[in-house]
């Protein structure tokens, strides 16, 4: 059985941000997709979807994780990262398991120090400065929709397509030409000339 791509689902998570990524890693990457919560209790996404996590953070086997996705949501700006989630992310980072954070979730990984020494992006440099006390990684900040550096993927909340593309590259989903075409089609909303 293949490793799983784990999607963190917490109350109010931005359900659309990881949607392209999880659909394609499952369909074309042949990865299992699992949802993980702080507990196994049901949560409601920002869009009102009720999700029952398949596992709790404390139940994850690091050896089973192909990648870990943290979607955005308003919670990241208001609350500190729960200790059990902080522990898991540190373990994943030490094990060189890809971590992918989009939108407000970039605040969480910056607060935990996971961006140190790595190129990264977010919803803007000033956004990170405003929400991460003591943020001192501006020299590694890249003003780009999505950035991938040494197993860490970060993206703006407006860059769900680019976020997915970087995860595909990290996990070897599609070949380079297919990834570029996929991103072009979903970003432009136009099929290439001659496509059925």
The catalytic site residues sit at 103
- Counting other chains too, the contacts that 33-39 makes at CB distance below 8 Å and 24 or more residues apart are 33/4, 33/5, 33/6, 33/7, 34/4, 34/5, 34/6, 34/7, 35/6, 35/7, 35/8, 35/9, 36/6, 36/7, 36/8, 36/9, 36/60, 37/8, 37/9, 37/10, 38/10, 38/82, 38/84, 38/85
CB atoms within 10 A of CB 77: 16
Residue-wise burial string across 43-76, b where 16 or more C-beta atoms lie within 10 A, e elsewhere: bebbeeeebebbbebeebeeeebbbbbbbbbebb
Cβ atoms of 32 and 1 closer than 8 Å: yes
């Amino acid at each position: 059985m293949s490793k799983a791509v784990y999607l963190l689902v917490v109350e109010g998570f931005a359900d659309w941000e990881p949607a392209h990524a999880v659909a394609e890693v499952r369909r074309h990457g042949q990865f299992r997709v699992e949802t993980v919560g702080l507990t196994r209790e049901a949560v409601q996404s920002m869009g009102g979807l009720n999700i029952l996590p398949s596992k709790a953070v404390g139940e994850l086997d690091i050896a089973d994780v192909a990648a870990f996705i943290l979607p955005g949501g308003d919670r990241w700006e208001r609350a500190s990262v729960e200790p059990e989630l902080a522990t898991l992310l540190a373990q994943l980072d030490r094990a060189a398991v890809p971590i992918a954070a989009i939108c407000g979730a970039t605040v969480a990984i910056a607060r935990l120090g996971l961006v140190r020494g790595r190129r990264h992006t977010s919803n803007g440099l000033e956004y990170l400065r405003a929400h991460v006390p003591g943020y001192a990684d501006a020299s590694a900040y890249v003003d780009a929709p999505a950035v991938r550096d040494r197993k860490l993927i970060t993206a703006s909340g407006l860059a769900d397509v680019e976020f997915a593309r970087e995860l595909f590259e990290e996990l070897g989903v599609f070949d380079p030409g297919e990834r570029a075409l996929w991103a072009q089609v979903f970003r432009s909303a136009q099929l290439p000339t001659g496509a059925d």
